[in-house]
Amino acid sequence: MATDFKHASIVEGVRFTAQVGVPNVVQGLFRKREAVVTVVGKLPAEHLAYRLVEGLARKYGPDPFWVRVGTEETLLLTHPEDIQTVLGGSPSPFASDPEAKRKGMAAFQPNALTISRGDLWAKRRVFADAVLKPGSRAHPLARQFAALAVETADDLVAADQPLRFDALNAAFQRLTRRVVFGEAAAEDEGLSAQLADLMAAGNKMPGKPAAGYQQFHDNIAAYVNNPDPTALSGMIAGAPSDDETDVPGQLIHWLFAMGDTLPANLFRTLALLATHPDALQRVRDDVGTKKLTTVKTVTDSRYLAGCILEAMRLWPTTALFGRVQAEEFRWKNGQRTPAGTPLLIHNLYNHRNRSRIAYADHFAPEEWSEGTAGDDWSFNFFSHGPQGCPGGGLSIFLGQAFLGRLVTQSTPKLTSGPRLRPHQRLPYAFDIYPAEISLS
Ligand code: HEM
């Protein structure tokens, strides 16, 4: 017989909406708002969110349970097996285009893969996989990309200034333009500025392309039509696509994920390395004097990859993400939930769940390089399953080449920002905006 999933109370729903839902919206779903993030970072907002979800999961879990978010009954998933059911079943029956995400993304990437369904999703996914090569040990253009990442690190060390996130982000936006389009786009800061404006418009969830979208799309199309064989654009002709794929429309996601999300994660990784001398030493020993322009040196730096993955586990840039049922679904307890049912995965809670993860609040790169963290469906900073991030491998590779070079050419010190100590529990939030890392 079917049993109904448990329901959190209306008061708990109000608290969940206020402490988990609203902070994610207030900070900017797509373009983080610097001032607001800093204010929220000073309040223990993430800590409150963690404690609230922890309390709810203890009371109503481990099965999925209903929480009212705003006025909508939403299924919250905290057990890795249920997460596997849902992410393993995306985009159907669990679509990745809940209304808020679709309306926000429509401003800057209305045809994005992540908000596509059915055959259209499959077609766009084949295109993305053919260019990004998610399953391969190293991307076919890895040698060129490693050289660009190393050059980016050298430029920042040569600048001889304490590193702030804005400088790292600008450097990565340039690196991203070179990786995606080649040298012709290296200095096209206007393109990245256009994207930033459109993403800011996305925070208002307009449900349609924002002013300037068509021009931005045309600018990307111009680069696609002049492909560079040393960049991702050079692989597009060999990837299956047609008009419905909307190739320029796919590349928009690549630009913000590599030029915004990736540097935020690498800045946090660098802060961890700056405050964990043993881990820093191990990375330096691994890389030694080997050249990071050699693909094998980069891919062999597995502990360094673990450092990046740990920063993403500890402070996921996607703190909360959602699915919506595209059709009815029968759960293992026999309960049926109808099409349209919203579901939520709270990465911050799942990544730090102290009842499941022994190293929850500590920096433990070896859990990835030598342990089993990579098999755990609790960790979804790159998501999992058919709609898992196809740029994850490339992101880690670029991060390894960049950070490997940076920490063998300089000694990072966290000179302002949150206190991170090896033997103390790490905070639930790491605000990148006020932080500063010296590179001596
Ligand atoms: C550290 C950097 C990155 C992080 C944290 C990240 C995270 C994610 C996450 C969480 C998703 C799933 C979203 C959802 O289902 O709601 C996703 C999907 C996706 N990511 Fe990434 N990503 C990163 C870098 C990249 C890069 C560099 C690219 C491209 C070059 C990329 C391309 C994509 C695409 C196309 C999807 C949609 C996949 C689909 O729906 O089938 N990502 N990413």
CATH code of the domain in which 332 resides: 1.10.630.10
| Structural domain count of the chain | 1
Query: What gap in Å lies between CA 200 and CA 119, rounded to an integer?
Result: 30
What single letter denotes the amino acid at residue 34? Answer: E
The answer to whether the CB of 313 falls within 8 A of the CB of 381 is yes
Q: What's the gap in Å between 427 CA and the centre of ligand 1? A: 25
Asked whether residue 325 is domain-assigned, the answer is yes
User: How does strand 72-77 pair with strand 342-346?
Assistant: parallel
Which band of pLDDT confidence, cut at 50, 70 and 90, is reported for residue 9?
very high
Question: DSSP 3-state helix, strand, coil percentages of the chain (rounded to 5)?
Answer: 55, 10, 35
pLDDT of res. 206: 87
Residue 5 belongs to a domain: no
Question: What mean pLDDT do residues 168-197 have?
Answer: 98
State whether the beta carbon of 111 lies less than 6 angstroms from ligand 1.
no
For the record, the structure tokens of 299 come out as 């891919």
Please tell me the distance between residue 258's alpha carbon and the centre of ligand 1 in angstroms: 9
Ligand 1, residue 132: give the atom nearest the CA: 30
Confidence bin at 157 (pLDDT 50/70/90): very high
- The encoded tokens of residue 95 equal 């679509």
70-74, 188-192, 240-244, 311-315: least confidently modelled range:
70-74
Residue 93 φ then ψ, to 5°: -85, 0
Pair 130, 239: CB distance under 8 Å: yes
**Proportion of the chain above pLDDT 90, given as a percent:** 87
**7 SS3 class:** strand
Confidence of residue 282 (pLDDT cuts 50, 70, 90): very high
Is residue 71 within 8 Å of residue 340, measured between CB atoms? no
Q: Say if 109 falls within a structural domain.
A: yes
Contact status, residue 242 vs residue 193, Cβ threshold 8 Å = no
Give nearest CA residue, ligand 1 atom 19: 389
Assess contact for 434 and 418: CB atoms under 8 A: no
Ligand 1: atom nearest CA of 87 is 15
Decide if 114 is inside a domain.
yes
Domain-embedded: residue 196: yes
Distance 391 CA to ligand 1 centre (A): 6
Instruction: Report the separation in Å between the CA atom of 349 and the middle of ligand 1, taken as the mean of its atom positions.
Output: 20
The amino acid at 238: G
* Mean pLDDT, range 293-302, rounded to an integer: 97
Report the 10 Å Cβ neighbour count for 281: 12
Q: State mean pLDDT over 169-183.
A: 98
Q: Which is nearest to 45 in space by CA: 37, 33, 55, 54?
A: 37
Write the DSSP symbol of residue 322.
Answer: E
The range of the structural domain enclosing residue 98 comes to: 10-439
**Angle between helix 247-256 and helix 213-224 axes, rounded to 10 deg:** 100
Say if 1 falls within a structural domain: no
Determine if ligand 1 sits within 6 Å of the CB of residue 114.
Answer: yes
Under the banding of pLDDT at 50, 70 and 90, the label for residue 20 is confident
Question: How far does the centroid of ligand 1 lie from the alpha carbon of residue 256, in Å?
Answer: 10
| Domain presence at residue 358 | yes
Measure the CA–CA gap between 267 and 6, rounded to whole angstroms.
Answer: 40
pTM greater than the 0.85 cutoff:
yes
Instruction: Ligand 1, residue 264: give the atom nearest the CA.
Output: 1
198-207, 331-340, 422-431: the lowest-pLDDT one? 198-207
Say what the pLDDT of residue 32 is. 60
Residue for token pair 């929220």: 40
The predicted-structure confidence for 379-429, as pLDDT tens digits, reads as follows 999 999 999 999 999 999 999 999 999 999 999 999 998 889 998 999 999
Contact in structure between 133 and 395 (CB atoms under 8 Å):
no
Reported confidence tier of residue 29, pLDDT bands at 50, 70, 90: low
Instruction: Tell me how far the alpha carbon of residue 5 is from its chain's centroid.
Output: 30
Which residue is closest in CA terms to ligand 1's atom 4? 382
At residue 21, the pLDDT reads 78
pLDDT band at 31 (very low <50, low <70, confident <90, very high): low
**Ligand 1, atom 17, residue with closest C-alpha:** 389
Any ligand 1 atom below 6 A from CB of 265: yes
**What's the one-letter identity of residue 90?**
S
264: CA distance to ligand 1 center in Å?
Answer: 14
* CA dist 351 → 164, 193, 202, 346, 402 (Å): 26, 33, 27, 9, 25
Q: Is 391 in the pocket of ligand 1 (CB under 6 A)?
A: yes
Could you give the CA distance from residue 270 to residue 266 in angstroms, rounded to a whole number? 6
Amino acid 30: pLDDT:
53
Does residue 119 form part of some domain? yes
